[in-house]
Each structure stands twice: as C-alpha cells, then as structure tokens.
Amino acid sequence: MVRSHKDGPLPRVVIVGAGFGGLNAARALRRAPARVVVIDRRNHHLFQPLLYQVATAALNPSDIASPIRRILRGQENVEVILAEATAVDVAARAVVLADGSVPYDYLIVATGATHSYFGHDDWARFAPGLKTIEDALDIRRRVLFAFEAAEREPDPDRRRAWLTFVIVGAGPTGVEMAGALREIARHALARDFRHIDPTQARVILLEGAPRVLPVYVESLSEQARRQLADLGVEVRTGQMVTAIDAEGVGIGPERIAARTVIWAAGVAASPLARSLGVPLDRAGRVQVEPDLTIPGHGEVAVIGDLAGLSQDGHPVPGVAPAAIQEARHAARNVVRMIQGQPRLPFRYRDKGSLATIGRAAAVADLGRVQLSGGIAWLAWLFIHILFLIGFRNRILVLIQWAWSYVTYDRGARLITGPLPKIEGAGPGTG
Amino acid sequence: MVRSHKDGPLPRVVIVGAGFGGLNAARALRRAPARVVVIDRRNHHLFQPLLYQVATAALNPSDIASPIRRILRGQENVEVILAEATAVDVAARAVVLADGSVPYDYLIVATGATHSYFGHDDWARFAPGLKTIEDALDIRRRVLFAFEAAEREPDPDRRRAWLTFVIVGAGPTGVEMAGALREIARHALARDFRHIDPTQARVILLEGAPRVLPVYVESLSEQARRQLADLGVEVRTGQMVTAIDAEGVGIGPERIAARTVIWAAGVAASPLARSLGVPLDRAGRVQVEPDLTIPGHGEVAVIGDLAGLSQDGHPVPGVAPAAIQEARHAARNVVRMIQGQPRLPFRYRDKGSLATIGRAAAVADLGRVQLSGGIAWLAWLFIHILFLIGFRNRILVLIQWAWSYVTYDRGARLITGPLPKIEGAGPGTG
C-alpha cells in the first residue's frame, strides 16, 4: 500500500484530532515533504491534565486552551479545518466530515477518548465527566451552585446533601478533583457564607479497586491516600457504584445523599474508531500493529488514547507522554513511507507518572525514584508549566497559581450558563 | 412611611441587583445600623464596561467578573442571596423570588437594563446584544466561527458575507466593538488562515443618529469617526435598520449581506420595574422623585440604569458613575430615615465621558477638557483598571493588556459551546 511520491505532487497527510497526539504529529511533520491537514471539531487544543483546575475555579478556560491555528500558524505546510470527522472511508482514502470529505494519502487518527459509564448512560445527567471545557464549566457551575443552594436550604438533611460531593473513580483526575474540592471548601469559600460552614463540606472519593491511583506503585497509592485524608477527603476503596440519580449515589444497599456527583471512572475510545473496520478492544480502542498502523493499511496510523497497544505484557497507558511519543513515531514513519523506506515498530519509554492532590501535595513515580508531598508537587508544577502550550499561558498560569497559593483564593468562581433549579429549597431569609 | 427603629431590632435593607449601583449601595451601608440583604440572580458582579473585551477574545470572563460574596465577605452586616427577584410587593414590603420572598424595611432596586430591539424581538436571534457574560461568549463564538466558516467557503459571495460584520448602534459599546473587531481581523488573526485574508474583513457600524457617540459633544464624535476610519471601520450614520435575518441587514431597500450582526442600539429597563406600580418612561425606567424614591413609598429607592431622572433639563445618563453616585445617595437616605431624619434630594455630578476605539485610540470628554487619541486612551485605561473590582483582577488584566498590546495577540480565542451550523458550506479541501 506504500506509494512513492517522489515525482508527483506533495502527498497529503491528514491528522484527525489536535490533542497531544495530533498536534505533536503535525509539528513533527514540519519539515516533511508533505501537505498536512489538521481536522478538529474544536478550534482549540486543550491541556487536559489541568482541566480539573477549570472545574474547580482556579484557572480560566483560555489558560489551558489555545487556538490550534495559532499554535500551528508558523508552520507553512499545515492547514487547519474546524469540522467534525464522522467516519474514515479507508477504501476511498478519505475522512468523512459532517459537511464534506477530505482525501488523504496518509492518515493519523488521534481523536482520543471520552468518558464511559459502563453501560449506565443514564448516569451522565447526574454525574458529569471531565473531558472538555464545557464539561469543566458544567462541573464548576454545579459545585459553586451547591454551596449557594445549601446557604438557602433550611432543612438540615437537605443542606447536608448539598454539601456532600461524591467523586467516582480515584485515578489521577478523581484524586485531583477530590483534593481541589476540599481546598475550595476549606479556604476559598470559608468566609463567604452566613448560614453554612463550607469547611464542613464532605468530599467522598469512591474507587472500585482496592487502592487509589491503582495503576501506580503501591507505596505511592498509600502516600496519596494519606495526603487525601489530611485534606479531609473520605476515601473509600473497593466500592462499586450501583446507582446514581439526582439525590445521590447507591453502593449496593447503601445510599449516600449527595447533590453533586462527578464521574472520573471509565474511559471509552472515540466512536470514530468503529468506521476503520478493524478489531477494537473492550474500551473501544483500536488494536494497532507494533508500528501503530491498522492491519492491512500501512497508510493509516492510530495514536494516543484511541490506540490500544501492549508492550512487554503491559498496556501503554492513556497519558500525554505516550500520545506524544506515538505522534512523533507515526510522523517519522510517514516520512519514511514517502521516501520509500519501511516503517519501524514503536517502542514506548515510560518516563514516570505524576498526580497532584492539593496545595504542596502530590505523588510522583519517576521509575527509580518515588516522591511525595512538597517535592512531588514542585515536580508536577514544573512539568505542567513546561508543557503548557503558548508562552503567554505559562506566565499567566504561573501568576494565577502563585496568587492562589498565597491567598488561598480561586479567581474564576463564576456561575455562568443557566442557573440550576433548586427543587423544594426554601427562601434564604424571611 | 418613615419608621424609627431606634428601639426595635435592626431594620432590614434589601438591595436587588449587584451591579455598580447595588454593590456600592451595600458598601455605603457598611457602618449603617441595619441588616443588609443583597439579592442577585448571578453569583458575580460584572464590570460591564469591559464586556466587549470578552466578546472580542481579549479578556476572560473572570477578569471582569468577581463573586459578589467575595467582594462583600468582609462586611459583617451583609448577606448575599443567589436568586431571581420576580416582583416587588410594595404593599407587603417584600421582594418576591422565584422560590420564596424576602421582607424589607427599606428597599433599593438596582436591577439595571437589558437590550431592546424596539419591538423587533425576532431580531434577537440574529443580532445578539451585550449585557451578560453569556452574551459576550455567544458573540465571541459567532465572530471566531465566522472566520472559520469563511476559510471553508469556496463561493466568493458567501465568503464575503461571512467576513462582513455589522454593528447596529454607535454608542460607546458599538464603537468599542467595531474598533476591536477590526483589530482582531488586522492583527490577531492575520496569519492564521490559508484560504482567506482576515485583514479584508469588513466592519460596518450603523447609527440612526447623524453622528457616532451621539450623546457626546460634536467635536469628539468627529474625532471618534476619524479614528474608526483609520482602523478601517465603515461608519454609516443616519441609517435606520429595517430588517435583520440570518443573511444580513436591511436598511430600507438596501441589503448588506453579513453573517454576523451585533446589537448595540436599544436599552430597556429591567422588567422588575413594572411590579412597582408607578409610572415608567418609554424605555421602561422608573420615574423617581428627586430623592430617588418612588412616589408614595419613601422606603423604596430605584437607582442606576433602572432609574429615570432628569436634572437641569438633561436625563442623568445610564453610566456607571451615575449609578455609583445614586447608590451612595440612596444609602445615605436610608441611614437618615433609620435615624428619623428627612431624605435629601439627589444631585448628579457629571465627571465626564470616555469611550475607547482601539489600540491607543479613544475619546474623552472631561467637561472643560476634551481629549482624543493616545492620551484619551491612557486616561481610559487608568480609570478602568482603577475601577476594576478586586486587586487580583487589576494585575491580571493589566498583564493581559500589556501582552496584547505588544504582541497584537488575543488570548481568549476559544470557540466554546455548541458549534454553529454552516448551511451549504463546502468542505475546505478535497
């Protein structure tokens, strides 16, 4: 299937998705003898690892998102299209859009993952996940509004339900959300209300596995659990959620009355994968060849969270560093194919894992070294600032973090969008 | 109607609305012998004069909005309620909420104004106004998306319509929007597209009156017109819009094909005014007594954009300084009534007007002195930074402005929310 373009017009490389994978693939092709087309249904690249900071009112959307056009504007051989790719026509070598199609010579699919409710899609209404800016603003609205509703609720049981926050899933996102929620309650909101004490807010972190951060080494899970407990997060491991509705969460026969539930558990690959016509794993990921291409189509590579790949018996994790390594490898293979050379297999190099828990609290697994507490937090801060796309963002985010750190304040505490309905809440006064 | 509370429990002062008027009334009552209740349907105070900067992607919502609770948290005698006031029951002395009611001894109504389409409410869909953060994000989405749609539109006429922006109304908001849109097109987006030249975008500013900024002195209108022309804004005065739809604007028999229309023309007072049972003017403002109270009810004051008041034959303008002066006066009168003293009449002191047009372009009327150009812009910058609520915001906004000024960049260029539909647009490539 590999064609040589040495004498014809420049081959066209289409990249679908401008997350860590897609964007790095485009950049890696900057000197390639090819026209590159990047398609995304958003106009911005999103720095997802910091999305929980938007959900918890510490950062603004534009601090962690940057227009794809701006990021790539200096790269002459790239064109950006704002459009939703609905399918890939592998036989015709074209990406199908909602309103047209884009042909390709080489394709890199990097559309990532969304959250999965393990077959309980009705839970989505009550327990939003955290993948997009809109998700983050939705969660921010729910969290801030819960305190407002509690302030006006005269019934103590109902008030307690407004002040109870359940997070389902204790991976990095769940751990970060839980820590940040307790910090908001303890510091940012502490003096703002007259009828409630925000510091009494309960944050319950539920995990089905026997420990938090289950993919990390056990000692770090234990460190994280202790740091969460210090913040006042109630960690409950080995707990399978069986019901979620507007009033709370069910765990078998037990019920937790909570008006705010956040989903940080399941991940499902983007539905675009199905149209490739190749085997998917249980989470919907494309089972790629060792060179990241799909069986029978060397011109189509799948990278990032959408790619299902195992190495030495372990799955390559769905994290940004893996997506970036895969992106660069896929780009290199495209250039090799254009030059008539064979593709090379991909090899993932694990550089370690990091999760932050709160103010000066974090855990880091750097392979030989495990860190926790303040040092891990500084490492986390440094690496995240470093990888934030766009110089302006880095400076501004650093200033906002410094400000929040010193003052315990959260600048982006805005409830925007339609106000949620309080069912049965009485007036605040009178 | 004035009661003395010297011996009873503290009287309750209810303030509806936490804009410039309501917030300053609450602050002016900080040492008053009263319990103060502030009711707003938003959790944030909004610095409306800079809202156009959010609409044009220069600032983030949280740069110009601050939680009401945080602003007032140090003031012990204030309670904040997040709720929508639907009416005032003047006879029962209670503010009616969507879900309850709040009784008052003294009431200050400061719910402001919204935009009016002069009886053409069907225009609202096609030509959003600019009063809330949601409005600003809607306009930002439309403006940024128009360039994306133009990039993908092969038909030259349709592409031109995407690249034509019409602003209806050349008051301060319309002038500021027009200038900012041309600056985005000329600088921020200039190098980002491959099929269109954003610098060719047309910005047309329509005004029914014979000159821009019609309430300013004539020499400044002329200065503003010239500065707008320098930026490439097409200014058309004496033009009455007779139709607006998805395809553009009609001015009598003439049509302007434009996919983006912004409404900056009419203002209507908040509908709460009707429930007061007193005469309203044509724009729905409450015709208040010289002491800012309503006829027959000295315990009810109306301030800010909702108050209709003339002085020396001129209406007091609907601007922030007027609202702030009225707020302080109404608060002072409340204290006088509590102390058994008579109310005093209000006297507006005009400190001047300012409007910004673009980068180092503005006009200022400071009574004896009229400024324009760079000096007026610096005055505008200084005053707006000074009045921004919250120290953190001032610093961050200043940094962002400095950054934008040096780099011509716009940091908040995000299209969030549902993607608009492009009807009939072809694919970008292929």
From the list A193, A396, A174, the residue with the least C-alpha distance to A263 is A174
Residue B417 forms contact with A (CB below 8 Å): yes
* CB spacing of B102 vs A65 below 8 angstroms: no
d(CA A113, CA A262): 17
* CB spacing of A428 vs B152 below 8 angstroms: no
Residue B266 forms contact with A (CB below 8 Å): no
By C-alpha distance, the chain B residue nearest A69 is B192
- What pLDDT is attached to residue A66? 87
* CB spacing of B427 vs A101 below 8 angstroms: yes
By C-alpha distance, the chain B residue nearest A390 is B411
**Span A354-407, pLDDT tens digits:** 888 887 788 888 777 888 888 888 888 888 777 776 656 676 777 777 776 666
Contact indicator for A343, A298 with CB cutoff of 8 Å? yes
From the list A345, A350, A347, the residue with the least C-alpha distance to A364 is A350
- What pLDDT is attached to residue A290? 97
- What pLDDT is attached to residue A195? 94
| Low pLDDT (below 70) residues in chain B | 1-8, 389-393, 395, 404-409, 411, 418-430
Distance from CA of A66 to the nearest CA of B (A): 7
CB-nearest partner of B429 from A37, A409, A411:
A37
- What pLDDT is attached to residue B66? 87
Contacts of A101 in chain B (CB under 8 A): 427, 430
- What pLDDT is attached to residue B3? 43
Q: How many CB pairs under 8 A join A and B?
A: 175
pTM (2 d.p.): 0.88
Residue A87 forms contact with B (CB below 8 Å): no
- What pLDDT is attached to residue B155? 96
d(CA B161, CA B249): 11
Give the residue from B39, B68, B99 with the most A CB atoms within 10 Å of its CB, the best one to mutate: B99
By C-alpha distance, the chain B residue nearest A73 is B192
Angle at B84 between CA B81 and CA B88, to 5 degrees: 100
* CB spacing of B413 vs A148 below 8 angstroms: no
Pairing of strands A44-46, A65-67: antiparallel
Query: What does the pLDDT profile of chain A (430 residues) look like in tens digits?
Result: 334 445 568 999 999 999 999 999 999 999 999 999 999 999 999 988 889 989 998 888 888 888 899 899 889 999 999 999 999 999 999 999 988 999 999 999 999 988 889 889 999 999 999 999 999 999 999 999 999 999 999 999 999 999 999 999 999 999 999 999 999 899 888 889 999 999 999 999 999 999 999 888 898 899 999 999 999 999 999 999 999 999 999 999 999 999 999 999 988 888 899 999 999 988 889 999 999 999 999 999 999 999 999 999 888 988 889 999 999 999 999 999 999 999 999 999 988 888 888 877 888 887 778 888 888 888 888 887 777 766 566 767 777 777 766 666 676 788 877 666 554 333 333 3
* CB spacing of B414 vs A62 below 8 angstroms: yes
From the list A242, A247, A286, the residue with the least C-alpha distance to A107 is A286
Contact indicator for B179, B228 with CB cutoff of 8 Å? yes
B217: tokens are 């002195």
d(CA A366, CA A151): 44
* Residue B208: partners with Cβ closer than 8 Å, 6 or more residues away: B238, B239, B240, B241, B265
Of all helices (H) and strands (E), which one includes residue B267?
strand B266-269
- What pLDDT is attached to residue A408? 67
- Contacts with A, B 335-394, CB within 8 Å: 392-393
What residues of A are annotated to the active site? Answer: 176
Contacts of A81 in chain B (CB under 8 A): 151-152, 427-429
* Residue A315: partners with Cβ closer than 8 Å, 6 or more residues away: A308, A309
**Span A393-426, pLDDT tens digits:** 676 777 777 776 666 667 678 887 766 655 433 3
Residue A412 forms contact with B (CB below 8 Å): yes
- What pLDDT is attached to residue A337? 97
Contact indicator for B112, B21 with CB cutoff of 8 Å? yes
**Span B345-404, pLDDT tens digits:** 999 998 888 888 887 788 888 777 888 888 888 888 888 777 776 656 676 777 777 776
What residues of B are annotated to the active site? Answer: 176
- What pLDDT is attached to residue B391? 57
* CB spacing of A400 vs B396 below 8 angstroms: yes
- What pLDDT is attached to residue A8? 65
- Contacts with B, A 168-207, CB within 8 Å: 189, 191-194
d(CA B25, CA B166): 37
* Residue A138: partners with Cβ closer than 8 Å, 6 or more residues away: A128, A417
SS3 B160: helix
- What pLDDT is attached to residue B58? 85
